[in-house]
Structures are given as C-alpha cells and as structure tokens.
Amino acid sequence: MPLDPSGPGLAGPAWMLAVVFLPLAGALLCFLLPRLAAPVGLVAAALTAASTLALTLAVMADGTARTQLGGWAAPLGILWRADGLSVALLAMTAAVGVTVSLYATAYFRNDEHERTFFWPLWLLLWTALNALFVSADLFNLYVTLELLGFAAASLTALGGSAAALTGAIRYLLVSVLGSLSYLLGVALIYHGCGTVDLALVAACVPDAPRPAMQVAAGAMIAGLLLKTALFPFHFWLPPAHGSAPAPVSAVLSALVVKASFYLVLRLWVDVLGGGGRWVAELLGVLGAAAVLWGSVLALRQERLKLLIAYSTVAQVGYLFIAFPLAVAGGAVAWTGALYLALAHGLAKAAMFLSAGNLLRFGGHDRIAELDSAVHRLPLTLTAFALAGVSIMGLPPSGGFIGKWLLLEAAFEQERFGLVAVILLGGVLAAAYVFKVVGHAFTPAARERRIRAVPPGMEWSALLLAAAAIVLGLTLPLISPLLQLGPASAASAVTLAAGGGA
Amino acid sequence: MTPLFDPQLPADALLPLLVLASSLLPGLVVFFLGEARVGTRTALNLGGAFLKLGLVGWMILGVYHGQRYELRMPLLDDLDLVLRVGALSLLFLVLSAGLWLVTTVYAVGYLEQSPHRSRFFGFFSLCVTATVGVAMAGNLLTFLLFFEMLTLTTYPLVVHRGTEAARRAGVVYLTHTVLAGALLLAGTVWLYTLTGTLAFAPRGFVSEVASEHPAALTAIFALLIGGVGVKAALVPLHGWLPQAMVAPAPVSALLHAVAVVKAGAFGVVLIVYDVFGIEQAAALGVTGPLALVAAVTIVYGSLRALFQDDLKRRLAFSTVSQVSYIVLGVAIVGPLASVGGIVHLVHQGVMKITLFFCAGNLAETLGIHKVSEMNGVGRRMPWTMGAFTLAALGMIGVPPIAGFISKWYLSLGALEAGVHWPLYVLIASSLLNAAYFLPILHAAWMREPSGPWAEAAARASAQAGDGGGRPRPETRWLLLLPPLVTAALSVLIGLFASMPVSPLEWSLLIVEREFHYP
C-alpha cells in the first residue's frame, strides 16, 4: 500500500487531521473564552463527532487511511494511520463524547467554577484519545498517553472535595508510573531497532537481541496494564472513578481505560507479532481474577458510584480473557473482546450518567435508600437497566455479542474454566445491577429533600444505554472493522470489499 | 449473509413482525402515557390484543393450508435471527394471544385506581411480546434472545407493588432465572461450536455429530433443559414460582398460564423435538431421566399443594405439578403421548388462568386469601365459584372438561410406548388433585359462610334492610367476565375436542406434520 497521502483514500487523511485538531482548537477556545465555554465546547464536540463519522465511512469505503505530518516519510517524520481498529474506538469515543458533552451542559449549568475548567480539560482529553488512536509510532503514542493521563487526573480533581483530591493524586501517580514504564520500553526498543515507527519496529523485533526486546515488551505492557487497571493493578480505579463528577466518571470508565487497552492490543498484535503463549495465559488468569474479584466487590458496595466503578474492574477483566483464547488460534476472541470494549464504553458511560442523575436527585448515592426512584426518575432507571442488560451480556445487546464470541472461542478450545468465569461474571453482574434496580422500586425509610433533574441529563443517559443495546444488532455491519490478527494490514485492504458488500 | 432489509420482502414474511409489533408498539407508547389517561391506554392495549389475535387467526388459516411464514435478520456473522411460524408455534401463539386478551381485560378491571398503571401495562405488553417471540423462534439463538427478554420484562411485574416482600420475591425470581439463562447460553454456544448451526429442524440438527460427541451432547442436553426447566418449574428448580405469588393477580395469571411457565415448557418441547430430535434424544438415553424428573415434579407439586392454606400458593404448587404433564408427554417418546403433552400446553393454560382470575376476585372483592376463609363463599359469589369449580374439576380430569383429554392421551401414549409407570403417576396425581381441590369446593358450596367477610356482609345487609332493591353483581364486570369466558372455554375445548382446529386436532396435526418417531 502506498504511503503517499494522495492515494485513493484522499478524504481519509483530511478527516484524520480533523478528529485531532478540532477538539484541540475547541479546548484552546474554551480556555480563552471561559464565559462561552459551554456553547463553544458543544460545537467543538459536534464537529469532532461529525468528522469521526466521516473518517469512519472513509475507512470503511477505502481501507486504512494514512498521513505524514509535515510530509516527512516514516523513519524521520510522524506517521498517522487509521485502520479498522482505530476507527472503531474513535467512533465509540465520539458517541460517548458527544453525549457526555450534552449531559455536561446541563450538569454544570449552575457551577461556573467547574464549568470553566471542565470544558478545556475534557476537550483536551478527547484530543489525546483521538491522537492516541491514530498514532503509528511508539514515541507519539507515549506523548498522547501522557497528555491523556494529565487531563484525566485534572478532571478527577474537579469536584474539589478531599476524596476527589486524594483519588486524583493517586490516579496521577499511577498514571505517571505507567507512562514511565512504557517509556522505558520505548527507549530500549529505540536502542535496539533505531526507530519507533510501529511497522518498522515490528519488522525489526524478530532480529533484535532477545533479552532487551523481552524486557522492553514487558515494561511497556506492565505500564499499560497499570493504566488499564487490570487486577491486581485496579486499586486506584474505584476511588478515582467513584469520586469524580458524573460526566468525568463516565469518560474515565468508558474511554480512558480503553485507550491503554487499545495500546496493549496494538502492541500485541501489530508489533510483537502475537506475543508469547505464557504471557497470554498470565493475562488470561489476571483477567479471570478481575472478573470474579471486581464483580464480587461491586456486589458488596453500598454506594452506587463505587459499585459501577468496581463493575469496570470486572469488565476490564473480560478484555484480557481474550488473550489466551486468541493466541491459541481463536481470532474470533479478538472480535469478542473488542465488541465488549465498545459495548462497555457505551453502557458504562450510560450507567455513570444515570448515577449522576440519581445523585443530583436525592443528594446521595446510597443504594439502599434509592427511594422509589423508579417512579420518580423512570427514564434514568430505564437507562441504568438497559445499560445493565449489556453489562450482564443478555441479548440483544453489544455485551451479549461480545460474550457470545468469547464463549465460542472458549468452547472450541474446550477451556471450560474460562467458560465458567465468563458465565459467572454475567450472573454476578445481574446480581449487582438488579440490586440497584430492586432498591429503586421500594420506598426508603425516611423522606428526603429532592432536586429536579434536567430532562437533558435523563435523555442523554438513555440515549447511550439504547446505543449499547442497538450495538447488539449491528455486528454484520461493523465486524469487518474488528478483524484482528497477524494479517491485520491485509484485512484492512479486504475491508473495503467487506464493508461495501 | 442475507441483507438487513430485503426490498422484496413478501407480505407473508411481515406477519411475524406484525405479531411482535402489535404488542411491542402499544407497550412502548403506554410507558409515556399519563396515569389518568385510562381510555387511551385501554384502547391501545385492547386494540393491540385484538390485532394480534386477528393476525394469529389469519396465520392459522395459512398454516392449515400448508403456508409457512419466515423472517430473518443477520445477528452474528453466520447466525440469523429467525422468526418462523409453523403448526407448533401457532399452538403457543394462539394460547398466548388469546389469554393475553382476557388477561388485559381482567387487569384493566383489577388495577382500577391503583398507582403506576402505565408502567404495569407497558411491561405487560413487553412480556407478551417476548412470549410470542419465543413461540415464533426459528432457531435456538432467537429462542434464547426472547427467553431472556421474558425474564427481564417480567421482573418489574413481579416487584410491581414496591414492597420489601415484593423486592425479595424479585431477588428469588432473578436468582433462579438468571442462573438458568447462563446454563441456556452455555448449552447454546457449546452446541453451536459442535454443529455449526442452530436452526430448528423436524429431526433436530445434532444427528451428524452424535456419534462423535455423545458425552458432550448429553451435557448440552442437561444444560439446555436446566436452562428452560427453571421457567417450567421442574423440581428442584421450581423454588421461584410460589415466591412470585406476591405479584398482583393478573401477573400470576400471566406467569402461570400465558407466558413464563409456558415458555419453559415450550422450550422443553423445542429442545427435545427440534434441537435433538426425538430419535436422537432417545438414542442418547436422555429422555428416560427427563421423564423421571417430570414424574417426580408431578407428584411432588401435588403433595406440596395439599398442605398450602394460602390459596394462591396452593394454585402455584398445582402449576408446578401440572406443567410437568407436558414434559412427561414429551419424554415418554411416542406420538400419542406427545399429543397429550402438547395439548396440555393449551388446556392447562386455560384452566389455570381461570383459577387465578377467581382467586384474584376473591381477594379483591372479599379480601379472601386463604383456603380456610372460603367457607360458604359460593353463596356470596356463585359465578366466580362456578368458574372455579369447572376449572378445578378439569384439573382433576373429570370428563368432558379439557384436562380429561390431556390425561386420556397421556395414558394412551404411555400404553402405546409400552410403559406402565406413567399411568400410576397420572392416577396418583389425579387423586392428589382431587384431594387438594375438592375440599375447597366442598367448603365453598356446602359450608355456612364464616370469617370476616361474612360478618361484614351480614352487617351491611342488616343496615340496608331486607329485600331492598335488585341484587348487585357479585363483583365488577371486568373481573367477572374473564374467568367466565375461560371456564366456558375449558369445557368447550374438551367437549368439541374432535372438531377441526380444536387444540387436540391441532396437536394431532403438529405431531403428524412436524415430528418424526423411530
């Protein structure tokens, strides 16, 4: 495939620049015009989402899009590339991003302080995410990762409470530690290969000195696991995600965690050429432990936001169960894991937004005192329950499709232990989701002061939850984007045929 | 891969979709209606119910003349969502569409003035949508989808009252059904990885791999039956059913006769006939254990029913027992036994819904919840108790009421298959049925009225003076009409069992057309 940007997919590179620079411009404008932050931010969000859609369509039609910043070729210049995997995550980010932006206009309406800081930071975070998904060299990825970490930690601190600050500081430390570990790996690779371009590194890895490459890969993946909060590195996630304002929690759980997972996957498939059998088994064991441990802890929480945060710990585990299955030949497991990642993004954002509504309504998020919320905030509870359906993996929902594909791979390889974990995680998820829904049906012991919830906040949560359900019906449409494997470059070419058929 | 929407979709393929939409769309609209808009809500519900019944009637004519209705939509890479209507699906469709109509009428009367009716009727409609989806499923994936949807949409109905007891019942209900869903999912995916297809077929679709993987197939059978067996309330998976009795009476009717339990029993029929095929199931040696489970359930349910003083709990254990007649009929392996089992799907539904309507009337009108409070109630509510009596006699198996036909064919089927023990199970069960129903009838008709309701009535009549004015109807018309209709129906389908398009004749048609025996 030619690296010349004036190739057949002319529209792709332009949209690729747009999805990174539009939110960046929005962030700067919001910073310069704090009084207009909300309308400017909303416009920037809408434009970013629109250009993401255009990029997705372009990639579906023409295959992988590439561009060179400044016109310099690969070893020296910066190469951006958007393949099926990239646009799938970009599109999910855009869907969550634009809905969270809508939600945030209502959420921060009466809080000027939080509003002026939220918008620039959030758009900066979106910029970092999009840049990460299109970057095609290790160092560029490091920069986006660092930017992402700082934006996310600052947003966590937005609430200003002691809990929020503690959570944010811890989050920042973990994030920096993870990035440093990743950077160490990049340095080793640069030393061994003399390049940081993903494709060139992939070509060099088999011939490079083995111990150095193993240490490099280990350091990079360990750093990213820390950022992805895979068990036992999950300790920082619940306090950070549980204490941030609702739109921030939604973004952290739905998107930020997925970014480092995406990077693990990208390195594993594209650079390390499939990785080692035993590393994959280890990741699978950690993933299984995360599913069980996270679900059990979620079930034991008394506060709604912490429950949802622990549920993220569990759902991240599912993504890593795919590694041993995929390494043993079940490429369908990658599709399953990616589908789960997309569905979790939509559903978890919807859950955090619903939790924000309940918190705004009753002034607290104690599950046992939800006080007939089902009668008073029916749309919010519907959103929570629909998102829960996807998290549990019941049909028809994105979560169901993902779990089905994982189960298919597990049964084909007769990995009954993994089958049991996948199913048990679903049952436990049903238990914690319905724990909340059940308490929302019963009245609480004492009356409380309540505050009105703007309809925009209710509807945006419902919209995301509905999207997680609809995702369950669209696999034939988007599965060409999710074909991963050793021949991912080839699949990007066949994508054009598959997507158009 | 079939395209998402075929531009040349024939009108016949749209019918299954319309059957779904006739309850789905009214249900979704009803959610957004204000509480006070009783007229609009009732019109939507009844309109949808009549439309659905009409569509089903139209398809009966079509299927009778050999027409098939099918609609597919891709869901997974090489697995479609398939809605398909054949003779067997229609039997379940008629049952659920017909009983949904009467239950809607009843619910409108029952819930007059009670809060949150829009939510109730919304989920009520979604629940029926899921049930007709189960009935029309053309492969195991579609079945799984609607089966799970049924679990989710009945939960809000079970906890509808919003009390702590209702919440606990909801927890019990979900613990059972969600675990069952996991078993069903496991069995389905495992089967798919072995066979590469999930499409229901007259002789099943496992025979090609049966010689290679007998152990795996036996395990899959156990998983699938475990999955549907919870909803079918097979012992020991039946624990949720008596607990779910805290729900309002129309919901009990729905759970026991129209939707949930029936979907489970229907699932057993599908798994034995259309997934494994009866020959293959018999060859694997799994029908014997299934028959045993059914027999144990029949006897155990009846025994437990004997000792319940709470009327609805007694009826619930009676359901546990009666639904396994269907499973027994399937597991005996033989055409006549299958006819008995399948026809009982309809017969049990019509009779049991009558009993629950009547129990609801007693509770709603007189506050009677227990069998021990029913002395002399036949004089106060003769129509209600008349309907109750007919249905109870039918359950015992008195000819010519519907239940007799079921038991007759089950017995014939057992003899035809050359086994005798099911006869003893049926006799024991009928004796037990009599033992827990006849005392109720005796108390209601023969004993002097007693208890709080009788004293209140005596006071009221003393105040009003003797012989003043016309006698009032015993309860609201909307509550009285449904049980009268279904009681009459349970006599008529027994009496005219050999007319064309009766449930019995239709079951014979199903067995002749769709089932194959060794």
The nearest alpha carbon in chain A to B220 belongs to A411
Same domain, A371 and A426: yes
Which helix (H) or strand (E) segment holds residue B322: the answer is: helix B311-331
pLDDT tens for chain A, 501 residues: list them: 333 444 445 677 889 999 999 999 999 999 999 888 899 999 999 999 999 999 999 988 888 888 887 666 666 677 888 988 999 999 999 999 999 999 999 998 888 888 889 999 999 999 999 999 999 889 999 999 999 999 999 999 888 888 888 889 999 999 999 999 999 999 999 988 888 888 888 888 888 788 888 899 999 999 999 999 999 999 989 988 888 899 999 999 999 999 999 999 999 988 887 667 888 999 999 999 999 999 999 999 999 999 999 999 999 999 999 999 998 877 889 999 999 999 999 999 999 999 999 999 888 888 888 878 888 889 999 999 999 999 999 988 999 999 999 999 999 999 999 999 999 999 999 999 999 999 888 887 777 778 888 999 999 999 999 999 999 999 888 888 887 644 443 333 333 333 332
Same domain, A296 and A222: no
Same domain, A267 and A406: no
**How many A×B Cβ pairs under 8 Å?**
92
Give the pair of three-digit tokens for residue B307.
Answer: 């000792």
Q: Which amino acid is at A403?
A: K
Same domain, A304 and A389: yes
The predicted structure's pLDDT at residue A86: 92
What is the overall mean pLDDT for chain B? 89
Distance of alpha carbon B90 from alpha carbon B53, whole angstroms: 11
The predicted structure's pLDDT at residue B351: 94
Select from A406, A411, A416, A481 the residue whose CB has the most chain B CBs within 10 Å, as the one to mutate to test that interface.
A411
Task: Count Cα neighbours of A79 within 13 Å in the Cβ-side half-sphere.
Answer: 23
Select from A375, A416, A434 the residue whose CB has the most chain B CBs within 10 Å, as the one to mutate to test that interface.
A434
DSSP state of B10: -
Q: Which amino acid is at B255?
A: L
Same domain, A184 and A267: yes
Span B341-362, mean pLDDT? 93
Same domain, A175 and A295: no
Residue B188 · residue B198 · CB < 8 Å: yes
Total number of domains in chain A: 2
Distance of alpha carbon B79 from alpha carbon B144, whole angstroms: 13
Select from B6, B148, B189 the residue whose CB has the most chain A CBs within 10 Å, as the one to mutate to test that interface.
B189
Select from A367, A376, A441, A470 the residue whose CB has the most chain B CBs within 10 Å, as the one to mutate to test that interface.
A441
Distance of alpha carbon B499 from alpha carbon B507, whole angstroms: 12
Give the pair of three-digit tokens for residue B35.
Answer: 């509480």
Distance from the Cα of B193 to chain A's closest Cα (Å) equals 6
Residue B10 has pLDDT above 90, yes or no: no
The predicted structure's pLDDT at residue A6: 43
Same domain, A174 and A294: no
Distance of alpha carbon B320 from alpha carbon B318, whole angstroms: 5
Distance of alpha carbon B133 from alpha carbon B314, whole angstroms: 30
The predicted structure's pLDDT at residue B481: 92
SS3 of A78, please?
Answer: strand
The predicted structure's pLDDT at residue A76: 65
- Distances, alpha carbon B196 to alpha carbons A21, A79, A335, B193, B206, in Å: 47, 42, 18, 6, 10
Same domain, A267 and A287: no
The nearest alpha carbon in chain B to A498 belongs to B1
Do the Cβ atoms of B75 and A408 come within 8 Å?
Answer: no
Distance of alpha carbon A368 from alpha carbon B358, whole angstroms: 37
Give the pair of three-digit tokens for residue A100.
Answer: 């969270």
Distance from the Cα of A481 to chain B's closest Cα (Å) equals 13
Same domain, A197 and A84: yes
Last residue of a domain, one of A271, A294, A318: A271
**Out of B75, B152, B159, closest to residue A389 by CB:** B152
| Closest to B319 (Cα-Cα) out of B429, B451, B177 | B429
Last residue of a domain, one of A220, A249, A271: A271
Do the Cβ atoms of B31 and A423 come within 8 Å?
Answer: no
Same domain, A72 and A220: yes
Last residue of a domain, one of A219, A249, A271: A271
* Residue labelled with tokens 């009778």: B64
Distance from the Cα of B373 to chain A's closest Cα (Å) equals 30
Residue B326 has pLDDT above 90, yes or no: yes
Question: CB atoms < 10 A from the CB of A46, how many?
Answer: 17
Do the Cβ atoms of A372 and B162 come within 8 Å?
Answer: yes
Span B367-379, mean pLDDT? 88
Same domain, A251 and A323: no
- Distances, alpha carbon A154 to alpha carbons A127, A157, B60, B315, in Å: 15, 5, 65, 61
Q: b vs e for B148-166, b when ≥16 Cβ sit within 10 Å of the residue's Cβ?
A: bbbbbbbbbbbbbbbeeeb
Q: Is the ipTM of this complex over 0.85?
A: yes
Cα dihedral across residues A69, A73, A78, A79: positive or negative: positive
Of A198-207, A317-326, B64-73, B106-115, give the range with the top mean pLDDT.
Answer: A317-326
pTM equals: 0.92
Boundaries of domain holding A192: 1-271
Do the Cβ atoms of A408 and B145 come within 8 Å?
Answer: no
| Closest to A451 (Cα-Cα) out of A114, A106, A218 | A106
Do the Cβ atoms of A412 and B145 come within 8 Å?
Answer: no
Same domain, A266 and A298: no
**Out of A394, A430, A442, closest to residue B164 by CB:** A442
Do the Cβ atoms of A438 and B167 come within 8 Å?
Answer: yes
The predicted structure's pLDDT at residue B94: 92
Distance of alpha carbon A87 from alpha carbon A82, whole angstroms: 6
The nearest alpha carbon in chain A to B165 belongs to A442
Distance of alpha carbon A97 from alpha carbon A328, whole angstroms: 35
- Any idea which of A141-145, A377-381, B293-297, B457-461 has the lowest mean pLDDT? B457-461
Do the Cβ atoms of A430 and B152 come within 8 Å?
Answer: no
The predicted structure's pLDDT at residue A2: 38
Distance from the Cα of A395 to chain B's closest Cα (Å) equals 5
**Stronger pLDDT, B117 or B225, i.e. the higher one:** B225
Grade residue B471 by pLDDT with cuts at 50, 70 and 90: low
